[in-house]
Amino acid sequence: MIKKLIILLLPILSLAHPHIFIDTKLDFTTKNNKVDKLQVSWIFDDMNSQILMMDFDTNRDKKLDKKETQKFLKTYFNKLSKNRPFIHVKVAGKNVSLTKHISPFSIKYKNNLLVMNFTVDFKKIKQTKTIDIGFWDETNYTAFAMEPERIKFKGKKLKVELGFYEEDLFVADVLKIML
């Protein structure tokens, strides 16, 4: 009976799996026991870096110029929620809108990997007790990994715990910062 159920559900489960894999690097700057800013780097996997460069590096110079970057962002990231492009932040358990707090994206191609960078300015975000930061795509098309060795602090290192967020058919890393 269980085998039959699995066989019936297999086509549905196969639809929801990541196609793009991104390693996340986090560089926090802290002041007065609070997060001042967060520099985020998304490092795309080898295969998708190559595919994206073939699609968007139209002059084949192994870097994305301003026009190519704009096309890339328009195609992939401008369609995302304006409040949180794959980044989910909660302060003391409440969702935080990041519309006014995220810098423009920059993109580099280094060591055959595509790297996107942006900064989240936490100065004007009221911070109490805890900050939860996670990266995920509700469609499960993109998977983000957060490894402890890629989490750095400038200023006082705050206490952190790496946990998980589970929703339907995917699991995402979430970093909890205790203030």
Q: What is the DSSP string of 21-88?
A: EEEEEEEEEEETTEEEEEEEEEEE-HHHHHHHHHHH-TT-SSS--HHHHHHHHHHHTTTS-SS-SSEE
Task: Say yes or no to pLDDT of 112 above 90.
Answer: yes
What confidence tier does 159 reach under pLDDT thresholds 50, 70, 90?
very high
Distance of CA 19 to the CA centre of its chain: 15
* Tens digit of each residue's pLDDT (9 = 90 or more) over 25-62: 999 999 999 999 999 999 999 999 999 999 999 999 99
78: pLDDT confidence band, cut at 50, 70 and 90? low
What phi and psi values does residue 73 have, to the nearest 5 degrees?
Answer: -65, -40
What pLDDT does residue 108 have?
Answer: 93
Percent of the chain with pLDDT over 90: 56
Tell me the average pLDDT across 73-87. 67
- How many whole angstroms separate alpha carbon 29 and alpha carbon 37? 5
Q: Which two tokens stand for residue 178?
A: 């205790």
Q: Is the per-residue pLDDT at 6 higher than 70?
A: no
On the question of pLDDT at 81 being above 80, the answer is no
Torsion sign across C-alpha atoms 24, 153, 157, 130 = negative
Q: How far apart are CA 105 and CA 48, in angstroms?
A: 18
